[in-house]
């Protein structure tokens, strides 16, 4: 059996560990802060596709990963005995005018081909999705590919499943065998310093959790906001996207604003109490795509970084392609995801 050491217990690190362990590798995960301590310990959890048009490698990779997610999270739940909060219930997006309806109609046609006829992009009446969506919204897009999970619960369930498989998850230790760096913003900063130019950065996000039970409803995306009903009877709202910040983990008036906007979009939540507030830094590579492959500044090591806003959606396939490379030497990673795409020219 191969030995693999993964540095970082966020969603990319844990997913790489999962894929390697499932193939028989001896795996150790090292993270001084424990599983899901950074951006992966959030509360939103929108697993939603890019629009079905202008198809490229990134959209294809994400589509395949979203399809893989249902099986992966079912296996994690079975092995760990914990619920990661996964459910494929779709996503609703209001269509504000005739131009938006016409665009959505064209996308419905391309979705049939690009999503291989397995998932659909429907135009429906908003009143079908009350009370999460106001009936006055008119028409909406409802796609059947989108899913939700609870990031914090999912990372803890995945860590527990790895432990059942015999994977060590420790705060510190020496690497053995192949080494994978999945330490998010910390490693982006280290690479930028080593190369003397920005490779990526942390983008702050703030989110809130409301006591509002819509557990059987699809998620709602409108005006740049994600509203995600979770299976435990709470609903998450997120998120901000901040390049400039003084406190990377503190919440402030920017979060108050998106809560107010979400209440306006969904009047049924108007009196729902806020029961949790969250903020953290999400690792964004310069290319805006995940950074996968050989590490550019750590000789002989691998990297899985740059999940940014779509890390959980990309994670199942990230784990698979990294296991291909680490354990079998098969490089199936597109050039747009290679570290070179984010390095200074």
Question: What secondary structure does DSSP assign to 146-175, as a single string?
Answer: -EE--HHHHHHHHHHHHHHTT-EEESS---
Residue 172: the pLDDT is 96
Tokens of 284: 């964004």
Place 55 in a pLDDT band, splitting at 50, 70 and 90. very high
Would residue 288 be called left, alpha or beta, if left means φ above 0 and alpha means ψ between -120 and 50 degrees?
left
60 C-beta neighbours (distance < 10 Å), count:
14
Is the Cα torsion angle 58, 46, 179, 80 positive or negative in sign? negative
The residue-averaged pLDDT of 230-246 equals 96
If pLDDT is split at 50, 70 and 90, which confidence band does 105 have? very high
Task: Please answer whether residues 208 and 236 qualify as being in contact, where contact means their C-beta atoms are separated by less than 8 angstroms.
Answer: yes
**Helical segments of the chain, H only:** 11-22, 57-80, 98-114, 151-164, 185-195, 253-265, 311-328
Whole-number pLDDT of residue 186? 96
Which residues are CB-neighbours of 281 under 8 A, at least 6 positions away?
38, 39, 184, 185, 202, 203, 204, 205, 248, 249
Going along the chain from its start, the domains and CATH numbers come out as 3-342 (3.50.50.60)
Q: What pLDDT is recorded for position 132?
A: 85
Question: Which residues are CB-contacts of 98 (< 8 A; sequence separation ≥ 6)?
Answer: none
Peptide bond into 277 cis (omega under 30): no
Q: What is the pLDDT of residues 297-337, one digit of tens each?
A: 999 999 999 999 999 999 999 999 999 999 999 999 999 99
- Does the structure show a pLDDT above 80 at 284? yes
305 membership: H or E segment, kind and range? strand 302-305
């Amino acid at each position: 059996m191969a030995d693999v050491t993964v540095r970082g217990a966020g969603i990319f690190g844990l997913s790489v560990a999962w894929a390697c362990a499932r193939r028989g590798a001896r795996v150790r995960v090292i993270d001084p802060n424990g599983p899901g301590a950074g951006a992966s310990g959030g509360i939103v959890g929108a697993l939603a596709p890019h629009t079905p048009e202008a198809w490229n490698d990134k959209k294809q990779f994400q589509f395949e990963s979203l399809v893989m997610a249902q099986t992966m999270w079912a296996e994690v739940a079975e092995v760990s005995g914990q619920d990661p909060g996964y459910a494929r219930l779709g996503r609703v997006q209001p269509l504000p005018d005739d131009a938006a309806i016409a665009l959505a109609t064209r996308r419905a046609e391309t979705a049939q081909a690009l999503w291989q006829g397995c998932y659909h992009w429907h135009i429906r009446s908003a009143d079908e999705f009350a009370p999460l969506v106001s009936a006055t919204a008119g028409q909406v897009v409802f796609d059947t590919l989108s899913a939700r999970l609870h990031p914090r619960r999912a990372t803890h369930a995945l860590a527990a499943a790895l432990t059942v498989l015999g994977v060590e998850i420790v705060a510190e230790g020496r690497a053995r065998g192949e080494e994978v760096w999945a330490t998010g913003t910390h490693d982006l900063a280290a690479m930028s310093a080593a190369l003397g130019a920005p490779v990526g950065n942390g983008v702050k996000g703030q989110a809130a959790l409301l006591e509002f039970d819509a557990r059987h409803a699809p998620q709602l995306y409108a005006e740049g906001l994600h509203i995600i009903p979770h299976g435990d009877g709470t609903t998450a709202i997120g998120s901000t996207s901040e390049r400039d910040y003084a406190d990377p983990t503190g919440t402030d008036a920017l979060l108050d604003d998106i809560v107010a906007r979400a209440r306006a979009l969904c009047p049924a939540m108007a009196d729902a109490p806020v029961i949790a507030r969250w903020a953290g830094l999400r690792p964004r590579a310069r290319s805006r795509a995940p950074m996968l492959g050989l590490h550019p500044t750590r000789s002989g090591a691998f990297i899985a970084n740059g999940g940014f806003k779509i890390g959980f959606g990309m994670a199942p396939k990230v784990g698979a392609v990294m296991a291909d490379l680490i354990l079998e030497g098969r490089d199936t990673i597109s050039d747009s995801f290679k570290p070179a795409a984010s390095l200074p020219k």
